[in-house]
Amino acid sequence: MTPFRRVALLGIGLINGSLALVLKNRGGAEHIVACARREETRRRALELGLCHEAVADPARAVEGADLVVLGVPPGAMGQVAAAMAPGLDPAAIVTDVGSVKTRIIEEVVPHLPDPSRFVPGHPVAGTEHSGPDAAFETLFEGRRTILTPIEDTDRGAVGRVAEMWRLAGSEVDTMTPEHHDRVLAITSHLPHLIAYTIVGTVADLEKQTQSEVFKYAAGGFTDFTRIAASDPVMWRDIFLNNREAVLEMLGRFTEDLVRLQRAIRWGDGDTLFELFSRTRAIRRAVIKAGQAYERRPVPPTAADDGAGTAGDHGVDGTRP
């Protein structure tokens, strides 16, 4: 790909940090400026070699940039877009990596001098670790990135952003923002909400049972704790910013759960058996769609919570 001259990364956590390594090490950018509010984050970004320059002011960060990547939690996107506006070249391509799209578009677009240069995006990749130390270059390998251009989005700008994500090793799809939010609500947001809930339920158990739960977590609970260790700020923002789609999917889920609850209470084995057989077929379909074969990328460095990240990836048995 033709490298960008100057890329401004607003926010330099897991996603933008990993993207920085891709741009730097694979010839995607000549110069990278990271922008972070906290001094400590800027220092780490420089130490880790994620950028050539690290600044605190969004308007200064975007000066002279031909690509701007918004990589802050969904709830901060509008604010950061407003803050960078005074320094932004109207010809610069602006993209984001947020996990919800409709709401981010609504928040960001009013602050842009030329909204047709805005390419909303979402690399569907990540780990339960966050911050610049969690970044690694292969995070997006074999993953998919969804771009959600709107009616007047410039096709050339979409092409350039797609090129960047392909450089990162990702496949690129496009869909409408509304469709994105609905699909992700069920594949990602609802699973996270459920995992957070059940881990919270355990946290409320009396101490004695709780320590036993940790001991026997391998029976299925471990997977949930990993998911529920994800970044709290980002996830709060996701739920607040994809409210309608999450509430709709949650409604469907709850209805289905209550049905099973009733079957258990009344000893209706047929209903249980019928569902449990049907879900096996879904597993096969998911494997066929290719995702379940993928190996999760393993970060080269130890993780921020002191857990060995590689060993951490072992999935537990699914038998009770």
Please identify, using beta-carbon distances, which residue of 55 and 213 lies nearer to a copy of itself. 213
Is 3 buried (19+), middle (13-18) or exposed (0-12) by CB count in 10 A? Answer: middle
Contact between 23 and a copy of itself (CB under 8 A)? no
56 is a contact residue toward a copy of itself (CB under 8 A): no
Please give the size of the binding site for a copy of itself, defined by CB under 8 A.
Answer: 127
> Based on CB atoms, which residue is closest to a copy of itself, 59 or 175?
175
Residue 229 Cβ vs a copy of itself, minimum distance, rounded to whole Å: 4
- Per-residue binding string, a copy of itself, 133-162, x by CB under 8 A, is ------x---xx-x----------------
Give the shortest CB-149-to-a copy of itself separation in angstroms. Answer: 17
Contact call for residue 124 and a copy of itself (CB under 8 A): yes
Residue that the structure tokens 């699973």 belong to: 191
Rank residues 38 and 280 by Cβ distance to a copy of itself and give the closer one.
280
Binding mask 228-247 for a copy of itself (x = CB under 8 A): xxx-xxxxxxxxx--x--xx
Nearer to a copy of itself, 38 or 319 (CB): 319
Q: Between 47 and 212, whose beta carbon lies closer to a copy of itself? A: 212
User: Which span sits near a copy of itself by CB under 8 A: 27-35, 78-86, 153-161, 208-216?
Assistant: 208-216
User: Judged by CB under 8 A, does residue 207 bind a copy of itself?
Assistant: no
188 binds a copy of itself per the rule CB under 8 A: yes
Q: Which of 41, 99, 102, 153 binds a copy of itself (CB under 8 A)?
A: 99
Among 90, 151, 207, 285, binds a copy of itself (CB under 8 A): 285
3-state secondary structure the chain: CCCEEEEEEECCCHHHHHHHHHHHHCCCEEEEEEECCCHHHHHHHHHCCCCCEEECCHHHHCCCCCEEEECCCHHHHHHHHHHHHHHCCCCCEEEECCCCCHHHHHHHHHHCCCHHHEECEEEECCCCCCCHHHCCCCCCCCCEEEECCCCCCCHHHHHHHHHHHHHCCCEEEECCHHHHHHHHHHHHHHHHHHHHHHHHHHHCCCHHHHHHHHHCHHHCHHHHHHHCCCCHHHHHHHHHHCHHHHHHHHHHHHHHHHHHHHHHHCCCHHHHHHHHHHHHHHHHHHHHCCHHHCCCCCCCCCCCCCCCCCHHHCCCCCCC
Among 118, 136, 165, 224, contact with a copy of itself (rule: CB under 8 A): 224
Residue 26 binding a copy of itself, by CB under 8 A: no
Question: Does position 209 bind a copy of itself by CB under 8 A?
Answer: yes
Q: Does 194 bind a copy of itself (CB under 8 A)?
A: yes
Q: Which tokens in the block code for residue 263?
A: 């079957």
Structure-derived torsion over alpha carbons of residues 311, 315, 317, 320, reported in degrees to the nearest 10 = 110
278 lies in the site for a copy of itself, by CB under 8 A: yes
Position among 40, 47, 178, 212 found at the interface with a copy of itself (CB under 8 A)? 212
